[in-house]
Structure 1
């Protein structure tokens, strides 16, 4: 990458087309469109007031769902491992590829899909920047040390906050003048252990939300830069799992989820945003709760009162019997911060009953309570629990469905990606759906018109 790409982005964000500029070491720094230094500190707590606008950003829809269009036309096959084209553009560069023909990169959205996806990512980066700082400021040194986290660990969290400042600045520059600023947030934790666990889960759906749309962006240039930032966020998620006493990477493949899933999980923690903040077009689905959510703060998650986890499934580290608290427990039951931890009793297992409850349509949520939960008319009734993890989307029939109580149950499936890789591991996504269309990691959003409620994060390992 050109050593002055940051300056190029700062200038290009305000231009109508890719600028033709020559940058030298003597060029003065060009201020970013918006950064953490110019937005100032934010505040915290729930929103109280009346929204001035409600609903997602929208335009007339041409259909209720995307109809399957069949396989794309494939013009390239290679069965012998040799070059199939009769030429190379230049030595050592095989024919083909996108954006490798010498055109000047243009690091900006090329469609509404791009703009709304990148804006969602910026909302995510802003809350992570605030969250990491807020946790450090809220809890004392003694609080952190009681949770097994040293001064070096706290410095690492501070450094990760600095990384988020860079990510937010990058995306603000890509988006241009209408990029949303930092907002006011409301967090669901009261202890260091709960703070760390919330960071582990927030970075999970932040990372997975980007994986879900990255390959679909029209702007390959923007996708390249976003990939370079989300690769860092993946490392953050692993660090927070280690701080949480969980195995750092218990999967072979990281799952991607649609933008509306990520926005449904993120929006409840944004209390309010400044007036005229750019709004999002993504859907807010009715909330989903796992009534018997596995609790990673317990030695044996099957003992004691069940934890009810809604949305991102915030941890409850209170009301756990001393004999069942895994922090500083002896032997393989310990869940103190560590490079790697194996739990002697798994958090969940194939065949485990999973009990659900869901919210309703028409509920206010998100910044200024200005977004409204909804579902498509195609989601006519709840029929399946859809477990999404790694490369798999597995539909499990619901049982004991009560539309009066908004509850149902399902059995955790025994699924795998490849031999020896249990797919239901790590922090996975579950949605309640009305139909079971065939989807793969690249077209998972085709299920959105059939989502009844959710997603909810399920702490499987």
Structure 2
């Protein structure tokens, strides 16, 4: 149970953050108490010189600079520990303590208290401590905080960048913009929470480099970014050493899931197209996120997670077409070459944005039924991937890397499954595969949604709880728009 002092402290911190000019508050400190032994002060964020911090336009605020890094990195590579014990984590049999089985539904052990069955973690009456409890916890929550900061800035940026007429042309009015502004306010609270659980070394807000030029592309980018934000947390939350941190994180990521659904609706996509959301390892989420971070303040905490080379889908479906698979095969219908860059929207022939036709229109809506799916089993998917060694991320100070061998398979991570299809190599770092068909239960097709897809050197068997075992075998990582 969360103490009243914690709730009041977190609320006070969030109110202080919201009272400052968003998204980079200056001259304020947010303080939160975590029980009798821990007091944390979150330092204010400053923008890298020489860029001013805030611009006001259309009644909204955003950082004045969103562009690439132009300096020289002083540090390169992911942060490392004192030593590394092995090249990879070995595959082991089930935990020897995992033996409980209940065939008749009757409790087997004495109850520690009335109506309290035996077992459970953190249920023995100890005082909750809402702080990270291991290096794994710290690096995971720090990744989550990087995610919350970019969402706070991203949601504000489109509101400030685009005019009323731009939003009207995209089918969004004042009420939709007000909702997005509220979602930005939610990110202020999430960032405050995660900062307080990390302490003094919590990462600060950075300057970002976005790919979109239209409202539609902004919405598309946000539904992709909130996908890896949500899935990146589902992938590690049950591995955290601190159950208390996991509890509060779950309460924030439930909101993130709603944000992703809303951005899908605003993009004209069906809001719920899978039976189960997918969880991704931290390095997958960090690979997708880092490409959009330009500058970070001096001394910002660095992360330990891997940055994989980019996998591009040259004929990925375009959500702005009424026939979404009538796309070029050279990647030109993506606005850029980064992993989660949105589909281009500023074309006329075949555009579905303002098309009032059931099954083909793609304007904002509670739900659309598509006559033509965004993708389909058997579709030939054209691939191109980068070699490792590319400078990416904050201050261009991280480097893409892979320990894998020659790519042989395409791994599709969605719902409860990781499904492989064979890769056909056609040239240097180019090839194709065919979108596979498989089902989770009944007729629920696995390949659906905004999903992570990888090139691998083997078809290793992994499940949702141990997907990180695949990391040493990943050649390149991408995001596929399947529905």
Q: 1:420 to 1:185 in 2, by over 3 A?
A: same
CA RMSD after TM alignment: 2.2
**Which of 395, 406, 412 lines up with 2:420 in the alignment?**
395
Q: In the alignment, which residue of structure 2 is the partner of 1:188?
A: 211
Q: Does 1:241 align with 2:258?
A: no
Q: In the alignment, which residue of structure 2 is the partner of 1:53?
A: 75
What pairs with 1:75-224 in structure 2 (closer than 5 Å)?
A: 75-85=99-109, 87-224=110-247
1 CA distance for matches of 2:447 and 2:165?
36
**Which of 36, 45, 53 lines up with 1:19 in the alignment?**
36
Q: 1:55 to 1:37 in 2, by over 3 A?
A: closer
2 CA distance for matches of 1:305 and 1:321?
15
Question: Alignment partner of 1:294: what SS?
Answer: coil
Question: Alignment partner of 1:4: what SS?
Answer: helix
**Which of 384, 394, 399 lines up with 1:372 in the alignment?**
399
The structure whose RCO (Cα within 8 Å, separation 6+) is larger is 1
**Cα displacement (A) at 1:13:** 8.3
Q: How far does the alpha carbon of each residue in 1:26-65 deviate from its partner, in whole angstroms, 9 at most, with x for none?
A: xxxx985246799964432111010010000013321111
Cα contact 1:116–1:281 (8 A) shared by 2: yes
**Cα displacement (A) at 1:92:** 1.0
1 CA distance for matches of 2:231 and 2:171?
28
Q: Does 1:419 align with 2:442?
A: yes
Q: How far does the alpha carbon of each residue in 1:344-369 deviate from its partner, in whole angstroms, 9 at most, with x for none?
A: 10010000011111111111000000
2 CA distance for matches of 1:425 and 1:7?
41
In terms of mean alpha carbon deviation, does 291-300 or 325-334 score higher? 325-334
Give unmatched runs, 5+ long, in structure 2. Answer: 14-28, 55-62
Q: Does 1:386 align with 2:411?
A: yes
**Cα displacement (A) at 1:428:** 1.1
What pairs with 1:67-78 in structure 2 (closer than 5 Å)?
A: 67-73=90-96, 74-78=98-102
Q: In the alignment, which residue of structure 1 is the partner of 2:456?
A: 433
Q: 1:214 to 1:143 in 2, by over 3 A?
A: same
**Cα displacement (A) at 1:322:** 2.8
Q: In the alignment, which residue of structure 1 is the partner of 2:22?
A: none
Q: In the alignment, which residue of structure 1 is the partner of 2:372?
A: 345
Give unmatched runs, 5+ long, in structure 1. Answer: 22-29
Q: In the alignment, which residue of structure 2 is the partner of 1:33?
A: 42
Q: 1:13 to 1:423 in 2, by over 3 A?
A: farther
Q: 1:149 to 1:8 in 2, by over 3 A?
A: closer
**Cα displacement (A) at 1:6:** 3.3
Q: Does 1:317 align with 2:349?
A: no
Cα contact 1:12–1:19 (8 A) shared by 2: no
Cα contact 1:246–1:335 (8 A) shared by 2: yes
Q: How far does the alpha carbon of each residue in 1:233-272 deviate from its partner, in whole angstroms, 9 at most, with x for none?
A: 0000000000000000100000011100000000010001
Q: In the alignment, which residue of structure 2 is the partner of 1:232?
A: 255
Q: 1:13 to 1:98 in 2, by over 3 A?
A: farther
In terms of mean alpha carbon deviation, does 326-335 or 55-64 score higher? 326-335
Q: In the alignment, which residue of structure 2 is the partner of 1:279?
A: 302
Q: How far does the alpha carbon of each residue in 1:412-460 deviate from its partner, in whole angstroms, 9 at most, with x for none?
A: 0001111121111111110101112110000001000011011x11110
Q: Does 1:449 align with 2:449?
A: no
Cα contact 1:35–1:168 (8 A) shared by 2: no
1 CA distance for matches of 2:454 and 2:394?
23
Cα contact 1:13–1:175 (8 A) shared by 2: no
Q: 1:410 to 1:310 in 2, by over 3 A?
A: farther
Q: 1:273 to 1:382 in 2, by over 3 A?
A: same
Question: Alignment partner of 1:333: what SS?
Answer: coil
1 CA distance for matches of 2:416 and 2:99?
26
**Which of 362, 386, 399 lines up with 1:359 in the alignment?**
386
2 CA distance for matches of 1:367 and 1:293?
27
- TM-score scaled to structure 1, two decimals? 0.92
Q: 1:14 to 1:250 in 2, by over 3 A?
A: closer
1 CA distance for matches of 2:252 and 2:46?
19
2 CA distance for matches of 1:452 and 1:460?
21
Cα contact 1:387–1:394 (8 A) shared by 2: yes
Instruction: Figure out how many residues of one structure are paired with residues of the other and give that number.
Output: 445
1 CA distance for matches of 2:43 and 2:268?
36
Cα contact 2:73–2:397 (8 A) shared by 1: yes
Question: Alignment partner of 1:201: what SS?
Answer: helix
Question: Alignment partner of 2:314: what SS?
Answer: strand
1 CA distance for matches of 2:262 and 2:350?
27
2 CA distance for matches of 1:273 and 1:235?
28
Cα contact 1:243–1:337 (8 A) shared by 2: yes
